[in-house]
Amino acid sequence: MTTKNRYTPDRGLTTRMVTTMFLIGLLYVVLVGVLLAVLNHAWPIILIFAGGLFIAQFWFSDKIAAFSMGAREVTPEEAPELHGAVDRICALADMPKPRVAIAQSDIPNAFATGRSERSSLVCATTGLLRRLEPEELEGVLAHEMSHVAHRDVAVMTIASFLGVLAGLITRVALYSGLARNARNAGPAGIAIMLIPLVSAVVYAVGFLLTRLLSRYRELSADRAAALLTGRPSALASALTKVSGQMARIPTEDLRKAEPYNAFFFVPAFSSKESLGRLLSSHPTLEQRLDQLARISADLARP
């Protein structure tokens, strides 16, 4: 998971990605093992189903996410300022230029997707482009492109797959009445009832693992962007401005955006009491600003 660009390597992020992938893989083995043990007569279907979902999640999740968030690729002629900012970041980082997109949304935000630098896409909303100054925009784009450079976007895509699979199995088992019909089936029935229970536990553990990784990777992206551009104050200004503007966005729009918070530069919450705030994929604004203030002080030292 090493990078060949000028973004500052983050050993802490690399260690967390490797650990998360190992634990996620272990959970995946446990889940499939339980399915095979309980439904041993259907093991070919289980393997094909799990393998098919994994391939679909890995290859298409970024495209689905970009489409769901309304990202539309734009040419340099259509968005010269956005392309110019991306070009400057690419020159600083010595990395291939990603596809550039704009999402028609007043929510000020940005995100990046892609399994690698070559297949990446960086997107800014019209709300973000309208509100930020050029230096602030470059800071946000540098943050998003660091996710691609460090490959944590790909790791998050793979890590989230297990949660999707476990959640799907739990819902199928409950809605199909599998557990209810198994109560009177003796020992075999008890074994079958373990499927939704194990799936629910796997989902919960996988969710916590991805949240812990996600919070660290956001701090890592802030740090890498600040060091690359040499302007942590511009990124701090963008963070403060975007976070402050969220309160002015209609609740309905924020609620629609909440499912994609893990991708966003700043999470969108529809209310102060939102459960998403407690289980947020991002660290608090105060944590992010404190880190940028320390970086700014370090850079100012002779």
User: Is 83 annotated as contributing to ligand binding?
Assistant: no
Give the per-residue pLDDT at 268.
Answer: 84
Query: Where do the structural domains in the chain lie, given as residue ranges?
Result: 11-66+163-202, 68-151+214-300
The answer to whether 136 is a known catalytic residue is: no
97: amino acid identity, one letter: K
Residues ≥6 apart with Cβ < 8 Å to 14: 1, 2, 150
Each of the 302 residues of the chain gets a pLDDT tens digit; together they read: 444 788 988 999 999 999 988 888 787 777 777 777 766 666 677 677 767 767 776 677 677 777 878 899 999 999 999 999 999 999 999 999 999 999 999 999 999 988 778 888 999 999 999 999 999 999 999 999 999 999 888 787 677 666 666 666 655 655 555 555 555 554 555 555 666 677 777 777 877 888 888 899 999 999 999 999 999 999 999 999 999 998 888 888 888 888 778 889 998 876 665 555 567 889 999 999 999 999 999 998 87
Cβ–Cβ contacts within 10 Å for residue 101, how many? Answer: 23
CA torsion, ordered 262, 267, 268, 271, to nearest 10 deg: 110
pTM: 0.82
User: Is 150 annotated as contributing to ligand binding?
Assistant: no
**Cα separation, 174 vs 171, whole angstroms:** 5
CATH number for the domain whose boundaries are 68-151+214-300? 3.30.2010.10
The strand order across the sheet containing 110-113 reads 71-73, 99-103, 121-125, 110-113
Beta strands in the chain (DSSP E): 71-73, 99-103, 110-113, 121-125
Indicate which residue of 144, 258, 273, 286 is catalytic.
144
How does pLDDT run across 218-227, given as a tens digit for each residue? 999 999 999 9
**Cα separation, 232 vs 296, whole angstroms:** 6
Give the per-residue pLDDT at 27.
Answer: 79
Exposed, middle or buried, 220 (CB in 10 Å: 0-12/13-18/19+)?
buried
Q: Can you give the length of the chain in residues?
A: 302
